[in-house]
């Protein structure tokens, strides 16, 4: 049997045909057109998923189920997206709308939870607890306990990025102040770099973006550090400390066998991983017991599709 999986984003709808081993056999993609009504978007999600199967020569009879990973708060029991601000969905009956086009079981989950599940499934390890943290525009993540996604009683659990790092700190997009996301997301290291360029216009760091803060990206400070620049090194080290403090909190709360770090910036590999591990070792609460293995996520952007495919099983 096969599974259809969809990664619903504010910009694109990405679909995949996934086999029982988690291999993505075929893909399809369409623009989301987030400004449209949910009926049109649901139709395109359905057609995109069906396209992934049809162009691979797989009939709907061979499909076990369909899984949807979406940003926001998801109620899988009711089949609705409770709230997703970047698609303007609120109490949107996505499942019933999609079943007009696909007569199969349809499961729904938060996109970060789907990525966590995909990474967990593909690691193929017997774990009581697994934590996934993704560093991107925000800080997302998911938790697997005893082989099942933990989402709280209402489907809104494990918003890891909105735990508090600094009470009364920088204002977050969620409206609260001091969220871990505000300090550890890729956008946070970009903001730190922009502030440093403004304050040090004649620096090597500023020269990397021609003194134009609009040209600053997530790699700017890392590039400066690679070339021995003190300012770039200071920014990266501070950002890593913010990331590591939040990860220490996750380890203290969940004590997972494995904690994986994903997101584009995780491609920096050992440059961020080694100091994070060192920080956690020095600051975690637990002592004299087996400790969490912290690693870079292995399945990248595919984890979300794989996890969505297996929502029905977990």
pLDDT tens string 259-275 = 999 998 999 999 999 99
Q: How confident is the model at residue 48 (pLDDT cuts 50, 70, 90)?
A: very high
Query: Can you give the pLDDT at residue 149?
Result: 93
Name the more confident of 1 and 29.
29
d(CA 266, CA 192): 18
d(CA 241, CA 235): 10
Instruction: Output the six-digit token pair for 254.
Output: 């969940």
Q: β-strands 139-145, 129-135: how paired? A: antiparallel
pLDDT above 90 coverage of the chain, percent: 90
Q: What is the per-residue pLDDT across 63-96, written as a single tens digit (0 to 9) for each?
A: 999 999 998 899 999 999 998 877 889 999 999 9
Instruction: Output the six-digit token pair for 174.
Output: 């969620």
Q: Please check the confidence at residue 57 and state whether its pLDDT lies above 80.
A: yes
Instruction: Output the six-digit token pair for 276.
Output: 């994070």
Q: Hey, what domains does the chain have and what are their CATH numbers?
A: 2-104 (3.30.420.40), 127-296 (3.30.420.40)
Q: Please check the confidence at residue 24 and state whether its pLDDT lies above 90.
A: yes
Q: What is the per-residue pLDDT across 100-151, written as a single tens digit (0 to 9) for each?
A: 999 999 999 999 999 999 999 999 999 999 999 999 888 999 999 999 999 9
269 φ/ψ angles, rounded to the nearest 5 degrees: 60, -130
Query: Can you give the pLDDT at residue 114?
Result: 96
Instruction: Output the six-digit token pair for 9.
Output: 């984003």
Query: Can you give the pLDDT at residue 88?
Result: 85
């Amino acid at each position: 049997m096969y599974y259809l999986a969809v990664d619903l984003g504010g910009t694109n709808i990405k679909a995949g045909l996934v086999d029982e081993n988690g291999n993505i056999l075929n893909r399809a993609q369409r623009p989301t057109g987030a400004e449209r009504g949910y009926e049109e978007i649901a139709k395109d999600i359905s057609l995109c998923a069906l396209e992934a199967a049809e162009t691979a020569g797989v009939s709907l009879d061979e499909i076990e189920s369909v899984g949807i990973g979406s940003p926001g708060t998801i109620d899988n029991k009711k089949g609705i997206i409770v709230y997703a601000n970047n698609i303007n969905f609120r109490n949107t009956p996505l499942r019933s709308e999609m079943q007009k086009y696909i007569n199969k079981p349809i499961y729904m989950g938060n996109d970060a939870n789907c990525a966590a599940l995909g990474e967990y499934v593909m690691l193929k390890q017997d774990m009581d607890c697994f934590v996934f943290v993704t560093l991107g525009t925000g800080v997302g993540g998911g938790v697997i306990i005893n082989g099942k996604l933990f989402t709280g009683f209402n489907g809104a659990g494990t918003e890891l990025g909105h735990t508090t790092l600094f009470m009364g700190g920088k204002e977050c997009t969620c409206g609260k102040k001091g969220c871990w996301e505000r300090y550890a997301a890729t956008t946070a290291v970009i903001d730190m770099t922009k502030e440093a360029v403004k304050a040090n216009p004649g620096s090597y760091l500023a020269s990397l973006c021609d003194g134009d803060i609009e040209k600053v990206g997530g790699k700017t400070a890392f590039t400066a550090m690679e070339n021995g620049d003190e300012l770039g090194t200071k920014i990266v080290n501070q950002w890593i400390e913010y990331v590591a403090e939040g990860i220490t909190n996750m380890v203290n709360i969940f004590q997972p066998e494995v904690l994986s770090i994903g997101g584009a910036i995780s491609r920096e590999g050992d440059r961020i991983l080694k100091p994070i591990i060192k920080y956690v070792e020095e600051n975690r609460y637990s002592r004299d017991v087996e400790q969490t293995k912290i690693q870079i996520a292995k399945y990248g952007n595919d984890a979300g599709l794989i996890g969505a495919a297996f929502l029905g099983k977990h």
